Amino acid sequence: MSILIPEAVAQTAQGGGAAGSPWPTLIMFGGLFAIMYFMMIRPQRKRQKEHQQLVDSLAKGNEVVMTSGMLGKVTDVDEAYVSIEVGDGVNLKFQKMSVHAVLPKGTIKSI
């Protein structure tokens, strides 16, 4: 086994590949970044933009589902909060960002 070690040392002493061009490494890192951008970062930004548009378009009378799964009808919209009627005379206040989706009219009565 010790016979192979001097050969390996002799090969690295001749400069076997350590002084190569940095371009393949840079191209590889650029390609990995491009893949990460198009597979992870870009779709997440798109979802965030769609959710922000949903939150901005909330209006009184919309039927919504919250991230907790609670269904209700919007009774009041503030800058950061929204009041939801979840039952007869039961109003709860939530942050606007906790609205998951806006439902079509009449969904709550059909459930």
In a domain, 75, yes or no: yes
Q: List the one residue out of 106, 42, 45, 38 whose CA is nearest residue 71.
A: 106
Strand, coil or helix: what is 67? coil
pLDDT, tens digit (0-9, with 9 covering 90-100), for 31-82:
999 999 999 999 999 999 999 999 999 999 999 999 999 999 999 999 999 9
Q: List the one residue out of 84, 46, 47 whose CA is nearest residue 65.
A: 84
In a domain, 74, yes or no: yes
Question: Do 81 and 96 form a contact (C-beta atoms < 8 A)?
Answer: yes
In a domain, 47, yes or no: no
pLDDT, tens digit (0-9, with 9 covering 90-100), for 12-40:
545 445 557 899 999 999 999 999 999 99
Q: What is the CATH number of the domain that holds 106?
A: 2.30.30.100
Tally of domains in the chain: 1
In a domain, 45, yes or no: no
Q: Label residue 86 exposed, middle or buried (CB < 10 Å: 0-12, 13-18, 19+).
A: middle
Is the model more confident about 35 or about 2?
A: 35
